[in-house]
Amino acid sequence: LARFYSAAAPSPAQPSSDASSEPITRFADLPKLGVSDSLVRSITQGMGYENMTPIQAMTINAALAGKDVVAQAKTGTGKTLAFLTPVVQRILNRLQEENPNWRRRRPDARDVQAIIISPTRELAEQISAEAKKLCQGTGVVVQTAVGGTMKRMMLGKARREGCHLLVATPGRLYDLLSDPESGISAPRLASLVLDEADRMLEVGFSKELEQITELLPSRNEVPRQTLLYSATLPKDVVGIARQYIDPKNFEFVQTVRAD
Ligand code: ADP
Ligand code: MG
């Protein structure tokens, strides 16, 4: 199945502006790839990490180069920070480009910049907690939308505080995006992460995942980066990848051997 990706993959990536560039593996070197100093400080000083794990190094370099990513990696390999780093940086770039004074404006929950989809409430809450640590002091607002919590309370909070980055389970996300009254929408979505795609399908979210793409702006009109992570790559995950990933500009990253 991995062959689908190799077959579809474009010829090797163009070397970036710096031809001698080797992948960056220390967080402290990320400003060379355009990552803001405040994000790097959150990671190195706030979280206390110095070196990237393999999946972090591969994903962060590829995503900062603008590619979609399909990554196969086991639990406990540091995926959360692997996707949060490029996603938060992309949010910062977008907001800064649009309005250098964006920090003085009220963030809007009807203009969500990035969405992370996670299979369970517990995982979504863990991701949110890490995202909040990473975003501390940056002005990026993170909200969590999971099943089983009081929806009205969550929506009230999102309306008051706004939302740049939404971490959600598939059912609740579909529910919010399909309801015009929810006050949550993403007409200019810049980043999408599917975390633990195989587990989302195991838990029975394949229908929601298909429906969610239809509620998002078309990739032809709104360029979007998608990062998909999965411990295994069965056929149904490949199907989801085909639906979400840009076949002309993606990188397939593997830190475990295929089954
Ligand atoms: P996964 O999502 O792949 O299961 P997590 O993102 O939950 O993995 O990370 C697993 C653990 O590794 C967490 O406790 C996290 O804080 C820690 N961790 C993540 N990145 C690093 C790093 N670069 N150096 C040291 N520890 C890290
Ligand atoms: Mg994880």
Stated as kind and residue range, the H or E segment containing 227 is strand 225-230
Residues within a 6 A CB radius of ligand 1:
49, 51-53, 56, 75-81
Chain-centroid distance, C-alpha 169: 13
Nearest CA to ligand 1 atom 18: 78
What is the ipTM metric for this complex?
0.98
* Domain presence at residue 41: yes
Q: Is residue 16 part of a domain?
A: no
Number of domains in the chain: 1
Contact of 214 with 222, CB cutoff 8 Å: no
- Residue carrying structure tokens 């239809």: 214
Mean pLDDT of the chain: 91
Residues 259, 198: Cα–Cα separation, whole Å: 14
Model pLDDT for residues 189-212, shown as the tens digit of each residue: 999 999 999 999 999 999 999 999
CA distance 100 to 103: 8
Pick from 80, 125, 254 the residue to mutate for probing ligand 1's pocket: most ligand atoms within 8 Å of its CB. Answer: 80
CATH number, domain containing residue 239: 3.40.50.300
Spatial neighbors of 122 by CB under 8 A, at least 6 apart, are none
Q: Under a CB-based contact definition with an 8 Å cutoff, are residues 24 and 33 in contact?
A: yes
Q: Whole domain around residue 143: which residue ranges?
A: 2-9+24-254
Q: What is the distance in A from the centroid of ligand 2 to the CA of 116?
A: 11
* Atom of ligand 1 at shortest range from CA of 80: 6
Q: Are 225 and 249 in contact (CB under 8 A)?
A: no
Residue 30 belongs to some domain of the structure? yes
Residue 176 lies in a domain: yes
| 218 is a domain residue | yes
**Residue 234: its pLDDT value, please?**
96
The string of pLDDT tens digits covering residues 106-124 is 899 999 999 999 999 999 9
> How far is residue 205's CA from residue 184's CA, in Å, rounded to a whole number?
21
Looking at the domain assignment, is residue 18 inside a domain? no
In a domain, 17, yes or no: no
Digit-coded pLDDT (tens) for 72-98? 999 999 999 999 999 999 999 999 999
| Exposed/middle/buried for residue 22 (C-beta within 10 Å: 0-12, 13-18, 19+) | exposed
Rounded-to-integer distance, Cα 78 and Cα 76, Å: 6
Closest ligand, as measured to the CA of 129: 1
